[in-house]
Amino acid sequence: MKRLARLRQENAQQLSLIAVVILICLAFSALSDRFLTYDNLLNISLQASATIIAAIGMTMVIATRGIDLSIGSVANCSVAIAVTLAALGSGSSLTLEASWLAYPTALVLGLLLGAFNALVIIVFRVHPLIVTLGTLALYRGIGLHVTDAASIAVSGDVLTLARGALLGAGYPVWLALAIAFAGWFTLSHTVFGRRLLALGGSPRSAVESGLKRARILAAAYIISSLCGAIAGLVIVGRVGIIDTTLGFNFEFTVITAVVLGGTSLFGGRASIVGSVIGAILLSAIDNGLNLIGANPFIYEVVRGLVLMSAISLDAYASRKATDQLSADLS
């Protein structure tokens, strides 16, 4: 009985999120008859996949009470460098044909950039918000430097990832689902995942229990950057262009998706499923606004409002929880 109540409480948030998704889909399908078509739904899932991938890493970081603002810059920087390095000596500097080597290169770069974030956070004990705010600018700057801030048309094997399809759905959708599954499994069923949640839940108890804070944090930030690099590969594969908008404001979308999904900014409570639904919700909103021909500036207003309401709800829920806790403990 107790257990049933617990399950219900945990799922309530996700169920209400799914309800919101359905409501928004119904609203858009009433406004545009192209919204609720098979092709458009596939399109939404394709659009959501980069956000989902990055949101998995972000979920882990946020679960430790951290944040990774550099995710969009990691996507930009790692992909820009990887494509440049894997270019098959082609003609003009504004078109590059990149081989499959861009994939492993981008992953290695993602790992390095994440390791640098982790290093500063752990060794110098700087708040992750500040560290990744710095690397947001730093990594973006490196990316711009590599591409000379130009728009580079990309071709070659590096696009395969985003352009193939399997059983009707694009590769990125399958990749996003695979990464989401791996993320869910890690957080719910591996010792590492449970330690990560423990650290986020109570840093003091973590120290007293002998948890290795540095290792857990390093892993979380590296995973986040790896996810960022993969998301960057997906984005570049879909648009075929590397330019300054690649990964720009991406952290905003990703963090909104994660917080919408019920992962608490105050640590210790994380939901991969929620992050996936959150990312889909954001894509559906973007897609729907596009279909009904809304003013592009409205997008930002809507996203801003969505983030504000998600964060307010999180803060409210956390305060309720801590009130209860301090009521019990004081």
Partner 1 sequence: MEALDRLDRTAPDLSGFARDEGAPLLKVSGVSKSFANVVVLKNVNFTLRSGEVLMLVGENGAGKSTLKNILSGLQAPSGGMLEVKGHLCDRLTPDQVSAFGIGTIHQELSLFANLSVAENIFMPNLPERRGRVDWKAMRAVAAKLLRETLGSDIDPGAQVGSLSLGERQLVEIAKAVHRASSLLILDEPTTCLSIPERQRLFDIVRRLRKAGYGIVYITHFLEEVYTLADHIAVLRDGELVAAGTPRDLPADALMRAMVGREIAASVYEPAALSDAASPILHVRGIGDNEQVHDITFDLRPGEILGIAGLMGAGRSELAEMIVGLRPAGGEVTLNGKRLERRSVKHAAAEGLVLVSEDRRRDQAFLSRPVRENVTAPSLKRLVGGTLRLIQSGRESEIAAGIVRKYGVQPARPEIPMVNLSGGNQQKAIIGRWLAESPKVCILDEPTKGVDVGARASIHELILELARNGTSFILISSDLPELLDLSHRVMVLHKGRASGFVERTRFNPDDIIKLASTGKARSGTAPAQEIA
Total site size for partner 1, rule CB under 8 A: 32
- Going residue by residue from 204 to 233, which x/- string records binding to partner 1, judged by CB under 8 A? xxxxxxxxx---------------------
CB 74 within 8 A of CB 228: yes
Q: Which residue, 200 or 261, is less far from partner 1 as judged by CB?
A: 200
Q: Which residue, 155 or 205, is less far from partner 1 as judged by CB?
A: 205
Cα distance between residue 319 and residue 322, in whole Å: 5
Q: Which residue, 11 or 84, is less far from partner 1 as judged by CB?
A: 11
Binding window for partner 1 (CB under 8 A); candidates: 128-136, 191-199, 222-230, 294-302: 191-199
Find the binding residues for partner 1 in span 84-123 (CB under 8 A): none
3-state SS of the chain?
Answer: CHHHHHHHHHHHHHHHHHHHHHHHHHHHHHHCCCCCCHHHHHHHHHHHHHHHHHHHHHHHHHHCCCCCCCHHHHHHHHHHHHHHHCECCCCCCCEEEECCCHHHHHHHHHHHHHHHHHHHHHHCCCCHHHHHHHHHHHHHHHHHHHHCCCCEEEECHHHHHHHCEECCEEHHHHHHHHHHHHHHHHHHHCHHHHHHHHHHHCHHHHHHCCCCHHHHHHHHHHHHHHHHHHHHHHHHHHHCEECCCCCCCHHHHHHHHHHHCCCCCCCCCCCHHHHHHHHHHHHHHHHHHHHCCCCHHHHHHHHHHHHHHHHHHHHHHHHHHHHHHHHHHC
Find the binding residues for partner 1 in span 169-188 (CB under 8 A): 185
> Residue 188, Cβ neighbours under 10 Å: how many?
14
- Going residue by residue from 130 to 169, which x/- string records binding to partner 1, judged by CB under 8 A? ----------------------------------------
Q: Does 191 bind partner 1 (CB under 8 A)?
A: yes
Q: Work out which of 3, 4, 39, 293 binds partner 1, going by CB under 8 A.
A: 3
Q: Does 30 bind partner 1 (CB under 8 A)?
A: no
Q: Which residue, 27 or 325, is less far from partner 1 as judged by CB?
A: 325
Binding window for partner 1 (CB under 8 A); candidates: 135-143, 192-200, 244-252, 290-298: 192-200
CB 287 within 8 A of CB 43: yes
Q: Work out which of 197, 236, 277, 289 binds partner 1, going by CB under 8 A.
A: 197
CB 278 within 8 A of CB 258: yes
- Going residue by residue from 269 to 308, which x/- string records binding to partner 1, judged by CB under 8 A? x---------------------------------------
- Going residue by residue from 228 to 267, which x/- string records binding to partner 1, judged by CB under 8 A? ----------------------------------------
Q: Which residue, 123 or 191, is less far from partner 1 as judged by CB?
A: 191
Q: Does 125 bind partner 1 (CB under 8 A)?
A: no
Q: Which spans of this chain sit near partner 1 (rule: CB under 8 A)?
A: 2-3, 6, 185, 189-191, 194-195, 197-198, 200-202, 204-212, 268-269, 321, 324-325, 327-330
